[in-house]
Chains A and B, each alone.
Chain A
Amino acid sequence: MVSILDIIGPVMVGPSSSHTAGACRLGLLARNLVGGTPQRARIELHGSFARTGEGHGTDKAIAGGLLGFRPDDDRLRTALEIAEREGLDYAFEKTKLGEENEVHPNSVRITVERDGRSSVMVGSSIGAGRILVNEIDGFPVEVHADHHTIVLVAEDIRGSIARITTLLADDGVNIATIRVSRRRRGGDAFMVIELDEPPGDNVRDHIRALDWVRWAFALEKVNA
Chain B
Amino acid sequence: MYTSLNAAITDAEARGLRLSELALEAESLDQGRAVADIRDALGRALAVMREAVARGAAGDLRSASGLVGGDAAKLRDGPAGPLSGTPFRDVLMRALAVQEVNAAMGVIVAAPTAGGAGVLPAVLTGLADARGLSDDKLIDALATAGLIGAVIAERASLSGAEGGCQAETGAAAGMAAGAAVEMLGGTPSQCGHAVALAQQGTLGLVCDPLGGLVELPCVFRNATGSAIALAAIEMALAGIEFAIPADEVIDTMGQIGREMDVRYRETAGGGLAATPTGRRLARERLYQLKRQ
Which residues in A have some Cβ–Cβ distance to B below 8 Å?
1-5, 7-21, 47-48, 51-57, 72, 74, 76-77, 100, 105-106, 126-129, 196
Assess whether A51 is in contact with B267, with CB atoms less than 8 Å apart: yes
Chain B residues 94-113 with CB under 8 Å of chain A are: 101-113
Residues on B with C-beta less than 8 A from A48 are 161, 212, 265-267
Complex A-B: 19 CB contacts under 8 Å:
A2-B153, A2-B154, A4-B27, A4-B146, A4-B149, A5-B41, A7-B111, A7-B149, A11-B45, A11-B107, A12-B110, A14-B108, A14-B117, A17-B114, A48-B265, A55-B211, A72-B107, A128-B153, A196-B32
Give the interface centre of A1, A14, A51 by most chain B CB atoms within 10 Å: A14
Residues on A with C-beta less than 8 A from B149 are 4, 7-8, 128
Assess whether A14 is in contact with B105, with CB atoms less than 8 Å apart: yes
Assess whether A16 is in contact with B114, with CB atoms less than 8 Å apart: yes
B289 contacts partner chain A, Cβ-Cβ < 8 Å = yes
Assess whether A8 is in contact with B111, with CB atoms less than 8 Å apart: yes
Tier of interface size on chain B: 35 or more
Interchain residue pairs A-B with the least CB separation, the first 4: A52-B212, A4-B146, A127-B159, A14-B102
Assess whether A4 is in contact with B150, with CB atoms less than 8 Å apart: yes
Interchain nearest-CB distance for A108 vs B (Å)? 13
Assess whether A14 is in contact with B212, with CB atoms less than 8 Å apart: no
Known A9-B45, A54-B289, A105-B262; judge A14-B150 contact (CB<8 A): no
Interchain nearest-CB distance for B100 vs A (Å)? 10
Assess whether B105 is in contact with A76, with CB atoms less than 8 Å apart: yes
Assess whether A1 is in contact with B108, with CB atoms less than 8 Å apart: no
Known: A55-B213, A128-B110, A196-B32. 11 other contacts (CB 8 A): A4-B149, A4-B150, A8-B111, A8-B112, A11-B107, A12-B109, A16-B214, A48-B265, A51-B268, A52-B213, A55-B289
CA of A207 to CA of B147, assembled, Å: 39
Known A13-B107, A21-B114, A127-B162; judge A7-B150 contact (CB<8 A): yes
Give the interface centre of A3, A15, A72, A129 by most chain B CB atoms within 10 Å: A15
CA of A72 to CA of B44, assembled, Å: 13
Interchain nearest-CB distance for A65 vs B (Å)? 15
CA of A74 to CA of B143, assembled, Å: 27
Assess whether A18 is in contact with B45, with CB atoms less than 8 Å apart: no
Other-chain contact of A52, B31, B103, B120, B266 (Cβ < 8 Å): B266
CA of A77 to CA of B266, assembled, Å: 21
Residues on A with C-beta less than 8 A from B289 are 54-55
Which residues in B have some Cβ–Cβ distance to A below 8 Å?
1, 23, 27, 30-32, 38, 41-42, 44-45, 48, 63, 65, 101-115, 117, 120, 142-143, 145-147, 149-150, 153-154, 157-162, 167, 175, 209, 211-215, 262, 265-269, 286, 289
Other-chain contact of A13, B63, B105, B212, B269 (Cβ < 8 Å): B105
Give the interface centre of B105, B175, B262 by most chain A CB atoms within 10 Å: B105
Residues on B with C-beta less than 8 A from A72 are 107
Residues on B with C-beta less than 8 A from A9 are 41, 45, 109-111
CA of A5 to CA of B44, assembled, Å: 11
Residues on B with C-beta less than 8 A from A196 are 32
Interchain nearest-CB distance for B64 vs A (Å)? 8
Q: Which residue of A lies closest to B47 (CB)?
A: A11
CA of A138 to CA of B160, assembled, Å: 29
Interchain nearest-CB distance for B165 vs A (Å)? 13
Interchain nearest-CB distance for B273 vs A (Å)? 9
Assess whether A14 is in contact with B106, with CB atoms less than 8 Å apart: yes
Interchain nearest-CB distance for B63 vs A (Å)? 8
